[in-house]
Structure 1
C-alpha cells in the first residue's frame, strides 16, 4: 500500500525525465527511458499473477496441510510467516543482484525457482522439507517484489500510476483465483497437494517472456563499450533517510495485516461456522473486491494533493472490519470482507509511492528494496503472532486486538509519508 506524492511548496519540482539514452543497471546497455515495450509489460503482468498465489492457496488449505503434515498451531504460524521472512531476507539482496545481472535474467531464475519450489513442496511428507521448498518458491517472489517497481520506473516513467495499477491488479487477480479455487481443486483431485501444486504451471508460464528479454540483454552487454560497462550508478541509501524509514514502517504494518489475513481469515470463518469452500470464497472475496481498488488506487494517489484522506479512509475501513470480525463474524461476513478489501488498498498505494518518492530507477530499486525488506521483517510478526495468540486463547479476540495495534502504527507512519518528497534529496 503506497501513499502517493503530495504537493509541498518548500520542495523542488520533480526532475523531468531525461530524453537521452541511459544505462540499464546491471548490463551497461543503453536504453531510452521512455521506452516500455509490450513484451516487458506482458512479462511484468505474468510475474505479478504469481506473487501471492503460493501464499493464499496455502491459507485456504491450512487445515488440510496441518492434518496432512502433522503441524502444530505454532508451526502453522511459522509456515504462514515464512513469506515475510523470505521477502525480507532475499529482497534486501536484490539491488546487489541488479548491479551485477540484468533484471530480465534475474527474473528468469526467480520464476524458475518459484515453479520448482511449488512442485517439490507438494511431493513430500516431511514438514521440514515442506518449509524448505516453500522457502525456495518464496525466494523467487521476494526478488520479483523488488524488481517490479524498478522496471516500471525504468521502462514506463511517464505511466507510473497506470502500469503500477495494472500489475497490482494482476497480482490481486492471481491472489483471488488461488484463494477461491484451491479448495475446489483439492477436493476434485482428492488431495491438498493438488490444490497447492497446480500453481507451479502459472509460474512456469511467467518464465517465458523473460527468456528472450534475458538473451537480448546478454547480447547488448557483449556489444557494450568498456566505458559503458564500467559506468556505475549513484548509490542511494534509504536507510539513512527519514522517508525511507517511514515508508518501511508503513509497508511493514500494512503487510503484517495483509499476510495475517491471507494466512488466517479462512480459519476464522471456519471457526465461525462456515464450510471450508465458503471460507475460502470469503477469503477470495477480499482480494476479488481489491481488483478495482488495485487498478484505481495508484492513479488516485498520484492525483491527490495530500495522502492524508486516503490514509485515514483506509484506516477507518480496517478498524470497522476488525471490530466486525471480532463481534459478529458470521452475521455480516460479506460486509467485513468488503471493508477489509478497502483497507487492503494500502498495498497498491504504497507500491505507487515507492516509484513516486524516487527520481531515478536506481533510487526506486533502492527504496523498493529497503522499504519492502525492512517492512517484511515487521510483517513477519503478523501471521506468527496471530497463530500464537489463537492457540493460546482459543479464540479471535486477542489476535484481532493485535492487528488493531498494528493498524495504529501503520496510520502514524502513513501520516508521516503523506507529504511529497524524494529519497535522493534526503
Structure 2
C-alpha cells in the first residue's frame, strides 16, 4: 500500500521514509511536552484530547495531498505520544498493586491492534483505495472514548499551577534523572526499541534474502513477530502471579530476544522458531519495562517523569533502527553485519534489564516533598 500512497501523493522515497517514520519521531521529540501537558491538565483531559486528536489526524491524512498527509500523521503521532505518557500515570495512580496485569493488557491490546491493522488494511485498500482503508480506522476512536469518559466522569484531576508547579516539576525531574534506575530502564527500552523497529522494517527482506522465502511467506514471518507479542505481554503477569521474580521473567525474555539475531545467523532454516521467541520477548519486555517504571516510582508524578525520560531517549534511538540496519546492509550487501548490530542492541537491553529488574535495596524515594490530598500527575 505504501507504493500506492507514494504514487498518489507524488512522494519521493525519502519523503515516504519521513512519512512512515514521523510517528516515532513524535514519540521521541514530544514526550517532554506531553509529560508537561499531563501535569497541567491531568490524565483524564489529556487522554480525551488525545483520542479526539487521533480522530482528526486519521481523517486529515486520508484527504487532500501530501501536506495534509504529513499534518494528519503528525497529529496522530503527537496524540499517541500523550497517551504513551498518560498510561503509566494511570497505572501508578489507580492500579499500582496490579501494575503488571494492567500493563500487560495494555501491551497486548496494542499488539492486537497492530496485527489487526496489518491483516485488514491492505485488503480494504485493494477493494476501496488506500484513503478509505486509512480513514475507516476512525471508527475505533469512539469505542475507546466512550468507556474512558464513563470511567473518569466526575473525577477531579488536580492541575499543577505555574509557576509553583513548574518549579516543583523541574525539581522532581532532576530527582528522577539522578536515579540510576531511570537510566537502566532507558537503556533497556532504547535497546528494545532499536531492535523492534529495525526488525519490523527489515525482517521480510532478511527472510527473503537469507532463507529464500517468497513475499507471502516473509509476510507471515513478520505477522508472527507481531502476533506472538500478545502472548509475551500476557505471559509476564501470569508468571509473576506464579511466584516468579521480575528478573527471572526478564531473563527468559532476554533469551527470546537473543534467539532472533543469533538464530538467523547460525540456523536460519529455523526462522519461525526464532521469530516466535523474539515476538514473545518484545511483547513481554514492554510489559516489564513499564511495570518496573510504575513499581519503582515514588509518586504518580515520578512515574510520569520517568516514563517521559525512558520514551524520549528510547524512541529517539528507535528512529535510527531502520536506517542504521538498512545502511549497514547497503554497505556490506549481506545480512551478517546488520544482524550483529541487532545483536548488540539486544545485548545492551539484556545487561540493563538484568540490573533494572533486580530487587531494590530501598523503597523508591519521593523526588518532591510530601503532599496532602491526592497525588497530582
State the TM bucket, normalised to the shorter chain: 0.7 to 0.9
1:91 paired residue number: 31
Structure 2 gaps, min length 5: 160-164, 368-377
Other structure's SS at 2:41 match: coil
Say whether 1:165 aligns with 2:113. no
- Of 278, 295, 306, the match for 2:234: 295
C-alpha displacement of 1:269: 4.5
Distance in 1, Cα, partners of 2:200 & 2:37: 29
Q: Which range moves more in the overlay, 278-287 or 147-156?
A: 278-287
Say whether 1:235 aligns with 2:158. no
Say whether 1:202 aligns with 2:143. no
> Any residues of structure 2 matched to 1:1-150 within 5 Å, and which?
61-69=1-9, 71=11, 74-126=14-66, 129-150=68-89
Contact 2:250 2:354 in 1 (8 A): yes
Contact 2:27 2:81 in 1 (8 A): yes
Other structure's SS at 2:297 match: coil
Other structure's SS at 1:235 match: helix
- Of 263, 274, 278, the match for 2:214: 274
Q: Per-residue displacement from partner, 1:296-353 (whole Å, max 9, x unpaired)?
A: 213535743461x444433332233224445776x44422321221331211111211
Q: TM-score, normalised by structure 2?
A: 0.81
C-alpha displacement of 1:71: 4.9
C-alpha displacement of 1:117: 1.5
Q: Per-residue displacement from partner, 1:372-403 (whole Å, max 9, x unpaired)?
A: 22221222211232343455555544432321
1:225 paired residue number: none
Q: CA 1:425/1:112 → structure 2, altered by over 3 Å: closer, same or farther?
A: closer
Distance in 1, Cα, partners of 2:51 & 2:8: 27
Q: TM-score, normalised by structure 1?
A: 0.72
Q: Per-residue displacement from partner, 1:260-281 (whole Å, max 9, x unpaired)?
A: 23333345456644335x5444
Contact 1:325 1:336 in 2 (8 A): yes
C-alpha displacement of 1:238: 1.7
Superposition CA RMSD, Å: 3.1
Q: Per-residue displacement from partner, 1:201-260 (whole Å, max 9, x unpaired)?
A: 213432223345565246x879xxxxxx9xx78835321221111111111110111122
1:174 paired residue number: 113
Q: CA 1:75/1:317 → structure 2, altered by over 3 Å: closer, same or farther?
A: farther
Distance in 2, Cα, partners of 1:154 & 1:295: 21
Q: CA 1:69/1:263 → structure 2, altered by over 3 Å: closer, same or farther?
A: farther
2:309 paired residue number: 370
Q: CA 1:102/1:318 → structure 2, altered by over 3 Å: closer, same or farther?
A: closer
Other structure's SS at 1:304 match: coil
Distance in 2, Cα, partners of 1:375 & 1:289: 22
C-alpha displacement of 1:105: 0.9
Distance in 1, Cα, partners of 2:214 & 2:4: 15
Distance in 2, Cα, partners of 1:261 & 1:193: 27
1:359 paired residue number: 298
Aligned length: 352
1:187 paired residue number: 126
Distance in 2, Cα, partners of 1:76 & 1:394: 23
Contact 1:363 1:424 in 2 (8 A): no
Distance in 2, Cα, partners of 1:410 & 1:131: 32
C-alpha displacement of 1:115: 2.0
**Structure number with higher helix proportion:** 2
Say whether 1:216 aligns with 2:157. no
- Of 309, 329, 339, the match for 2:277: 339
Contact 1:81 1:381 in 2 (8 A): no
Q: Which range moves more in the overlay, 250-259 or 114-123?
A: 114-123
Distance in 2, Cα, partners of 1:206 & 1:101: 20
Q: CA 1:314/1:62 → structure 2, altered by over 3 Å: closer, same or farther?
A: farther
Q: CA 1:66/1:339 → structure 2, altered by over 3 Å: closer, same or farther?
A: farther
Q: Which range moves more in the overlay, 374-383 or 317-326?
A: 317-326
Distance in 2, Cα, partners of 1:163 & 1:339: 23
- Of 235, 247, 267, the match for 2:185: 247
C-alpha displacement of 1:74: 4.7
Larger RCO: 1 or 2 (CA < 8 Å, sep 6+): 1
Distance in 2, Cα, partners of 1:358 & 1:65: 43
